[in-house]
Amino acid sequence: MCPPASEGARHRVEQDLPPSRESNAARVEQSRLALRRADLFRQQAFVGGAWVSADEVIRVVNPATGGLLGTVPRLSQPQVIEAVAAAEGARSAWSRRPAAARASVLRRWYELVTTHADDLSRILTAEQGKPLAEARAEITYAASFIEWFAEEARRVYGESIPAPAANRRITVLRQPVGVVAAITPWNFPAAMLTRKLAPALAVGCTVVLKPSELTPFSALALAALAEEAGLPVGTLSVVTGDPAPVGEVLTGDPRIRKFTFTGSTAVGKRLAARCMDTVKRVSLELGGNAPFIVFDDADLEAAVEGALISKFRNTGQTCVCANRILVHEAVREEFARRLVERVATLVTGDGLAGVTDLGPLINAAAMTKVRGHVEDAIGRGARLLWGGHPLDRPGNFHEPTVLTDVTPAARLFREETFGPVAGVVGFFDEAEAIALANDTRAGLAAYLYTKDLSRATLVSEALEYGMVGVNTGLVSTAVAPFGGIKESGLGREGARQGLDDYLDTKMVCTEVGVG
């Protein structure tokens, strides 16, 4: 679960500097971006085809240095309403364009994102903190959603149903829902946008997007490239601002017919409830608490590599990160020893300053949560095998950490840590592993390692999760449906299914003049 962004905003106020020192600090941070296309770093919002400012700004900090990276407008509610009006105004013309014409705009956008991937990666690392190689991978991942949905735009098929009477015809149309509001998180400032924007635009919806105020610059750069690709005025707006007032408009305005959110479970539930006043379609991608199960017949080397990818991707800040590493008692000590050996090689640091494996956490609140989880687990009898402490340097850095003997009562087991802490829990048999894995209200991703095909099949079926990785620690791809069950969300993103949430089903029953 991504911590609420307002916690980050509070952290920033503590770091306020006088205006002149502040703009010098921002110049230093911005010069480190070293962009080929400096105009991709935008400090204005994009409303109805215009780049706009506001009376107040939100300050955005590089989590690796604590330095001010830049500012974005704190839009007022009337400015957000203007974006909704622009989306409503653009809706009809965009939805009536042939699918192939919409697809070719998306295709141009994909090509521009790919061409400017280096610049986009540097902006992403500066605002979010992930290592540059990971930011590059995220831009590729983000672009893959645009490419995929540009192709899928041409395949929005309806149905013809045999009618119960000779003089009737029944057809089923699939039509765009209309104006979409999207709120996206800070942990994937590019890919979580395109995963929503691309299917919405592909089927003919228009979108008002609010990116996280912690990481707005990737969204604005992507919007600049979408504009360059020829997306018509009003089709996409990017509104920057505080979560509460912007969220109030996006969940309340009756012209918005669909609301899509990726972020924390607590915030998602509140926003979804508000959407019911105007009965909007809702999709939610919320927090996980992923079990990573290693059976005693697993290839241990592969399992350790999978755990590294799954646990430490984005410094542990993904909703699909392994959160509880469940290992059969027969191999637990050996697995933990090998995991520590690999974790000891990970390099933590500022992704713009050198080659790194791990970056900073997003803010002070995230550091507090991670420390709380480590201390709580140790307090309940866990053994610290590696790391365990914040790093004494600027930015929000925490050592990659390995604990074993973690008990199911620990916060590490019960809550999503969203940080670089691997907690190993032992089990004795398959039934216990499944029971431990399912002992949560979350149901996003789960992983299992075994060489036994029947076990892999049966355990996958028994796991109460929307996604299961078998002998792999990474399941995410544009071509597969991503999403959770239980309290992890509603709807699917990516794949053929990713279009469904942006389409209404309309049945047309026609009486024809036969005999």
Q: Which is nearer to ligand SIN, 73 or 268 (CB)?
A: 268
**Least distance to ligand SIN from the beta carbon of 476, Å?**
3
Distance CA 401, CA 311 (A): 10
Q: Which is nearer to ligand SIN, 149 or 482 (CB)?
A: 482
DSSP 3-state of 100: helix
- Active-site hit among 2, 205, 319, 321: 319
Distance CA 319, CA 331 (A): 27
Distance CA 227, CA 233 (A): 8
**Least distance to ligand SIN from the beta carbon of 183, Å?**
13
Distance CA 327, CA 90 (A): 54
The DSSP symbol for 487 reads G
Is 285 annotated as catalytic?
A: yes
Distances (CA, A) of 76 to 69, 82, 98, 241: 22, 10, 35, 8
* Count of residues of this chain found to bind ligand SIN when the rule CB under 6 A is applied: 9
Piece in contact with ligand SIN (CB under 6 A), picked from 20-28, 313-321, 334-342, 504-512: 313-321
Distance CA 298, CA 12 (A): 45
Nearest Cα residue to 315 out of 141, 194, 137, 134 = 134
**The two structure tokens encoding residue 44:** 């204005």
Q: Which is nearer to ligand SIN, 90 or 319 (CB)?
A: 319
Q: Which is nearer to ligand SIN, 120 or 319 (CB)?
A: 319
Q: Which is nearer to ligand SIN, 176 or 288 (CB)?
A: 288
Per-residue binder mask for ligand SIN (CB under 6 A), 315-334, x = binder: ---xxx--------------
Q: Which is nearer to ligand SIN, 476 or 497 (CB)?
A: 476
Piece in contact with ligand SIN (CB under 6 A), picked from 16-24, 50-58, 206-214, 312-320: 312-320
The DSSP symbol for 279 reads T
Is 319 annotated as catalytic?
A: yes
Q: Which residue is nearest to ligand SIN (CB)?
A: 476
139 binds ligand SIN (CB under 6 A): no
Residues 200-229 that bind ligand SIN (CB under 6 A): none
- CB contact at 8 A, 309 and 469: no
CA dihedral 354, 355, 361, 362 (to 10 degrees): 60
Distance CA 405, CA 416 (A): 18
**Least distance to ligand SIN from the beta carbon of 216, Å?**
17
197 binds ligand SIN (CB under 6 A): no
- CB contact at 8 A, 104 and 151: no
Per-residue binder mask for ligand SIN (CB under 6 A), 240-269, x = binder: ----------------------x-------
Contacts of residues 111-114 at CB distance under 8 Å and 24 or more positions apart, as own/partner, are 111/229, 112/225, 112/228, 112/229, 113/139, 113/142, 113/143, 113/146, 113/194, 113/222, 113/225, 114/143
Per-residue binder mask for ligand SIN (CB under 6 A), 455-474, x = binder: --------------------
Q: Which is nearer to ligand SIN, 30 or 310 (CB)?
A: 310
Distances (CA, A) of 492 to 105, 264, 497: 24, 17, 6
- Active-site hit among 82, 152, 227, 285: 285
Per-residue binder mask for ligand SIN (CB under 6 A), 147-186, x = binder: ----------------------------------------
Q: Which is nearer to ligand SIN, 349 or 469 (CB)?
A: 469
Distance CA 405, CA 384 (A): 9
**The two structure tokens encoding residue 257:** 């017919």
Which backbone phi and psi does 360 adopt, to 5 degrees? -80, 165
**For residue 404, what are the β-bridge partners?**
383
Piece in contact with ligand SIN (CB under 6 A), picked from 41-49, 173-181, 314-322, 368-376: 314-322
**Least distance to ligand SIN from the beta carbon of 188, Å?**
5
Q: Which residue among 79, 187, 240, 440 contacts ligand SIN (CB under 6 A)?
A: 187
Inter-axis angle of helices 99-115 and 132-152, to 10 degrees? 170
**Least distance to ligand SIN from the beta carbon of 289, Å?**
13
Q: Which residue among 46, 109, 148, 188 contacts ligand SIN (CB under 6 A)?
A: 188
476 binds ligand SIN (CB under 6 A): yes
**Least distance to ligand SIN from the beta carbon of 263, Å?**
9
**Least distance to ligand SIN from the beta carbon of 15, Å?**
27
Length of the chain: 515
**Least distance to ligand SIN from the beta carbon of 225, Å?**
21
**Least distance to ligand SIN from the beta carbon of 481, Å?**
12
Distances (CA, A) of 432 to 222, 412, 452, 493: 46, 18, 17, 31
Active site residues per annotation: 285, 319
Interacting residues toward ligand SIN by CB under 6 A: 187-188, 262, 285, 318-320, 476, 482
